[in-house]
Structure 1
């Protein structure tokens, strides 16, 4: 029995992501079956409409998303894909309580479109239309401009009446970037508000990081520990696994 427990502990160390995924699944199973359904709506927005919504804030990039990392060559390839009618992967959005839409998956693509419409970079390294190399949006022939603006992108919106734990599970499933988001980074994006802000303030204004000997806490581990303390000290009697939820 002891050897089995040791093997399980070793597996936890070697495969922590698998353990976290099980926690997310357990969290969904903890809610009533009728509430486990994902409520979505599908929209085909034009590129022009999406850019307008990004500018006016009705679609926004939440704080938990990684920063914009695409090079001009990568960004140019997306714009060229729009020109040649190449299919663009689905964009996933989350409906907030105020009806605004936060980006779950598609940050790099949407930011690229906004930046190009704002003339922030010239096209470079094009393979299908090298004649357009060096062109910013305002320098394109108006017919090219309208063609790009009128392209439609499939957007799937996760509606606000979806159970929060189901949303959390979906975020984890879509969290497939090169650097996976931690559970706390997902929480920070999903439930950002006064409580999350207070946890961040508590960490910054206390000696917490020094006490834990944490020199760099970019992944929000300290905030997660603060939230765990508050949650368990407030309502420990009703605690149910998994802790990730």
Structure 2
């Protein structure tokens, strides 16, 4: 179908819009051997102090073994590795947030740590069933010396810019806006309840979020995760997105005002307890402006479960929040496998019950 010619006025308006929206993003380009990149990612990971870290807003790790193996095969035969995007955050003690490339870095880390067994290789078929340690020493060294180029955004790139880069690089980025989609597809009294809980002043105090996260309805996502995991965390066996969608679809079927009142009361009871006993709420420290999803899930659901078992719970101490075990369960890179989900939630539940006064 023919379109009308673009007028000079339209061109002028379009040019003004480009200038208004144009962003100047400061960055540096660096190059590192694979071994160095993996070391920066692995060292301090269990205590959430690794130099290269995965941010909360990114998707769950989704590459299966075959796709990971294919990436390793590509590196092995010398194909160039796409640029890794990282960002130097002003409040992160010089740490680098992985803006794009976390799956590649995690795959390399899994391979170098013998956690990945190569499978489904089509070019290097003789390497199927190999781990990294099965390679000749000379080949291990050559693999470690392969270089990766990294674009490092300076601290001037705020969270909105970083998310925008991630979404534009990755196709199918609507998955990052799941809560907005759910509001349209599953609108009704249950979604209204979730929004009411998300708007509670005490919740906003205990779970600080950036302005960008608020706009993306991250707070409603937190509330949905609380109710879904509280109801059936032990049955979690798929991606978080599918788990939440399935729970929401089923929960809204039998939802009524009485159930809604009970759910809200339990959420508020949990918040009151956290406010009383957890000095920094759901955040890692009092001055932090962000709340990691995994940390929120562990504390909120674990607390609610403990209160169900003992409504008059009064723990003597929550010093275990700074323990190596809790940090291991709640780092930004902790996986969402069923055992990990169960472990971190029940860790909080059991610690609260064990330390009861």
Query: Same fold, TM exceeding 0.5?
Result: yes
Aligned to 2:140: 145
Which residue of 209, 232, 238 maps to 1:196? 209
Residues in 1 aligned to 2:58 and 2:69: alpha-carbon distance in whole angstroms: 22
Once the two structures are superposed, residues 98-154 of structure 1 have per-residue CA deviations (whole angstroms, 9 ceiling, x without a partner) of 221111111211111111111112111222222221111111111111111100011
Aligned pair partner of 1:161 in 153, 156, 160 = 156
What is the DSSP-based 3-state SS (H/G/I as helix, E as strand, rest coil) of the residue aligned with 2:209? helix
Shift of the 38–143 alpha-carbon distance from structure 1 to 2, 3 Å rule, reads same
Indicate the residue corresponding to 1:101 in structure 2: 96
User: Which structure: larger Rg?
Assistant: 2
**Contact residue 47 and residue 153 of structure 1 kept, 8 A:** yes
Q: Report the 3-state secondary structure (helix = DSSP H, G, I; strand = E; otherwise coil) of the residue aligned with 1:92.
A: strand
CA distance in 2, matches of 1:100, 1:71: 28
- Do the aligned partners of 1:93 and 1:101 also contact (CA within 8 Å) in 2? yes
Q: 1:208 to 1:130 in 2, by over 3 A?
A: closer
One of 109, 112, 121 as aligned partner of 2:107: 112
> Cα deviations across residues 192-245 of structure 1 (Å, max 9, x unaligned)?
x9621998499649x999xxxx9749xxxxxxxxxxxxxxxxxxxxxxxxxxxx
Shift of 1:177: 4.2
Counterpart contact for 2:99–2:163, Cα < 8 Å: no
TM-score of the superposition, structure 2-length normalised? 0.42
Change (3 A) 1:204 1:70: closer
Pairing partner for 1:75 from 68, 74, 79: 68
Unaligned runs of 5+ in 1: 1-25, 186-192, 218-245
- Counterpart in 1 of 2:51? 58
Distance 1:39 1:137, change over 3 A: same
1:202 and 1:65 map into 2 onto residues whose CA distance is 14
For the aligned residue pairs, the C-alpha RMSD in angstroms reads 3.7
Larger RCO of the pair (alpha carbons < 8 Å, separation 6+) = 1
Higher helix share: 2
SS of residue in 1 equivalent to 2:109: helix
Structure 2 residue 20 is the aligned partner of structure 1 residue 29: yes
Q: 1:131 to 1:87 in 2, by over 3 A?
A: same
